[in-house]
A and B are shown apart, each in its own frame.
Chain A
């Protein structure tokens, strides 16, 4: 770039006067401050229960999308449910991070089976899973169910299979689980609440 002495002085003068004006308070107006956009303003709220431990804290799932045909909803935030009597809006660090648990790449999303003798997990359908469980349970119960003891006392018990239930169930599903398991004669029945 070729600058004559005169041009050089002009450039210097313009620079000095410009920066001086800015320092003297004549800078162009910047946008005023604003808080960040409230990200839950147009979300759908769904109540749920934290799946981690036996405390069973109430949570609210916030998702974006109005369920229009071409709009695909997405879960964007999870927070404690202030109306839930157990936690009243609070959560532990695990519960507070549930969104990352839901979106985890390692999350199990379908039934898998590892056949006896195999070292591989194989994906199966829900129907296959239920059928398989029912068949195995029936076979074991038919083989090992004890209706009467040796001295003729009626016991109707099935001791060779156990059942592990979830603590984060509603009262209704807890009642149903109990009914089903006990009416099969199963005695070994425990709950995730003691895990």
Chain B
């Protein structure tokens, strides 16, 4: 029931070209990790809005709870304690979840038509009714985000609240954030906000502050402002230069059309063979010979 026209930009395992003449505003979520206090209001708001509840977990000696993304927890806070010579102990907190890549690896890897959709505004969404639960999206994701539910064996992840965005609202995590560390708007505006903040951070002594909008996946619609943009790995192994696995690119890029071509060639070849050579017929003489042989065998 979208109130705003949401064109589809890409659809998993579909060759029909999507509509492309309407200009849609590209949206983005900006997470300024330097303002995050790790309160987890975004985690709670996400579950409340999306009507999912995770199991009450166990304390493993860290604040990470749940410890990893699950089919019910589409965003989790990652807490990293980092020690360095210059700064001593730093507590780096990152809100983890789907990055909504411009070139989504999950969608590329997905074999089920229409199970993963990329809308023209940049949101990558999963349509669980079309999901066959194969888990290829997890292999295809450079950020290891989608999770298969044990209950219905379908893949789930952050939708960037596509249902809210479609009616002109911001995602639930953005609205709830009490420190204003998460913002939402057009991708251009988010880049501007990030730029201002990076200047501010550099003045405050974070010389390597910067925006995380990795180009290896064509840029993302969820971006981070990091105080140590030169070392994203500090933030719970955020990949420095994420890219879709070469196996996925190879399999879905070159191999798929080749295989299709091969199938078509076999089909056409068989047809030609049938037309030119006809069915494999046994001459009556041979048939009689065989029958004779059989009879002789029967007598013995």
Contact = CB atoms under 8 A, between A and B. Distances in A.
Interface stretch (B35-43, B97-105, B233-241, B289-297): B35-43
B11 A33 contact: yes
A91 B41 CA distance: 7
Nearest to B166: A35
Contacts of B134: none
B263 A20 contact: yes
Which secondary structure dominates where chain A touches chain B? loop
Interface in A53-95: 77-80, 82, 87, 89-93, 95
Interface string B145-181: 0000000000000010011111100001001111010
How many B residues are at the interface, by size bracket?
A: 35 or more
A41 interface: yes
Nearest to B175: A89
A191 interface: no
Contact of A93 (B6, B44, B53, B172): B44
A33 B117 CA distance: 7
Contacts of B260: 23-24
B3 interface: yes
A91 B177 CA distance: 7
Nearest to B165: A35
B163 A92 contact: no
Nearest to B127: A33
Contact of A99 (B48, B127, B162, B263): B48
A35 B48 contact: no
B82 interface: no
Contacts of B159: 35-36
A35 B117 CA distance: 10
Given A79-B175, A90-B176, A33 B125 contact: yes
Greatest chain A CB density within 10 A among B119, B163, B177 is at: B163
Given A35-B163, A36-B162, A38-B163, 12 more contacts: A20-B263, A23-B260, A32-B114, A33-B117, A33-B127, A35-B125, A38-B164, A41-B1, A77-B48, A77-B49, A91-B176, A96-B45
30 contacts: A20-B267, A24-B264, A33-B114, A33-B117, A34-B1, A35-B2, A35-B6, A35-B162, A38-B1, A38-B163, A38-B167, A39-B51, A77-B49, A79-B175, A79-B176, A82-B175, A87-B178, A90-B175, A91-B45, A92-B41, A93-B40, A96-B41, A96-B45, A96-B48, A96-B176, A97-B44, A97-B47, A97-B48, A99-B48, A100-B53
A-B interface, 10 closest residue pairs, ranked by CB to CB distance from nearest: A33-B117, A96-B44, A36-B163, A35-B162, A90-B178, A96-B45, A93-B41, A93-B44, A97-B44, A35-B166
Interface of A: 17, 20, 23-25, 27, 30-39, 41, 77-80, 82, 87, 89-93, 95-97, 99-100
